[in-house]
Structure 1
């Protein structure tokens, strides 16, 4: 009876290509190494209780908010601002305020913060585009997410391009 079961199991495995394990392939080709008594041991490990932490852990949303805060700080160029000790605002020869430093390789603090806000808004736009894909069956919500996401991306892109154009000393609109 047991031989019939083994033969059926072996026949079923032979019918399916690739169902044979590596060990079975080696054992069939080299019977003198493994023999018929070599088998995989069954080890029963004791069920140990893992120690649990007594303090509650924060949720995933807190971690995501923390990552976004760190990302925002890095985008502002906080390392550059700390080491270079740049001024917050500047003035030109006329005495009027300048928000954008006229050189491409330098910046004021306010300029870095404003650019970081727009980069952050652009990343929120991409997150909204991703969220729109989750509302496949609710088309009106998906379209709202798509429109707001695309508007955020375009607005931040156009604003950042305008900032770079002004920094280079060119006219904003070549009309």
Structure 2
């Protein structure tokens, strides 16, 4: 029995062809260059443990909300509004309120905010389109989310085109 136990210990498992690594191939083919042993260099990294702060961080949703608020302010044209200081809303000669400035190059604050809201709704529509692609296996939910996204995009696009058409003093629906 001892001979069988020793025989089992001494027998080596056959290597499967192609299982050797590149490191083993280089080692077996070029022993004269690297010597009998090929070793990996050992790098000592300094132990730089900095003191950790136990401060709670905001969640991911708060970060996304902050990004959307910043995008909303940039789309509003906050830098332009601060620099030019336009009035919030205007009025015509009869004293009626005017929400859209006559020139295409200038804007009231209300006009900028409304345009930014429509751009934001359009971007939400594209987010809904992306979310619809995640519900591939639940077709009812995917179609509903897709429809909401397309409707938001179309409404936003139509409203922005109407605003530009009114600013250019053209007829809203062509020759109708």
TM-score bracket for the superposition, by shorter chain length: 0.7 to 0.9
2:141 matches 1:141? yes
2:107 matches 1:107? yes
**Residue range with higher mean Cα deviation, 117-126 or 98-107:** 98-107
Residue 12 of structure 1 and its aligned partner are, at CA, apart by 2.0
Superimposed CA distance per residue, residues 117-161 of structure 1 (whole angstroms, 9 cap, x where no aligned partner) = 000001111111111112112111111111111100000000000
2:60 matches 1:63? no
After TM superposition, the score normalised by the length of structure 1 is 0.80
The 5 Å alignment of 1:78-89 reads 78-89=78-89
After TM superposition, the score normalised by the length of structure 2 is 0.79
Distance in 1, matches of 2:73 and 2:138, equals 36
**Structure-2 change in CA distance of 1:41 and 1:107 (3 Å):** same
Distance in 2, matches of 1:68 and 1:31, equals 61
2:15 matches 1:8? yes
**Residue range with higher mean Cα deviation, 28-37 or 106-115:** 28-37
Residue 53 of structure 1 and its aligned partner are, at CA, apart by 3.2
Please identify the structure whose Cα radius of gyration is greater. Answer: 2
Distance in 2, matches of 1:81 and 1:31, equals 74
Unaligned runs of 5+ in 2: 1-8
**Structure-2 change in CA distance of 1:104 and 1:31 (3 Å):** farther
Question: Which residue of the partner structure matches residue 168 of structure 2?
Answer: 168
**Structure-2 change in CA distance of 1:45 and 1:82 (3 Å):** closer
Question: Which residue of the partner structure matches residue 17 of structure 1?
Answer: none
SS for the counterpart of 1:55 is coil
Distance in 1, matches of 2:63 and 2:75, equals 18
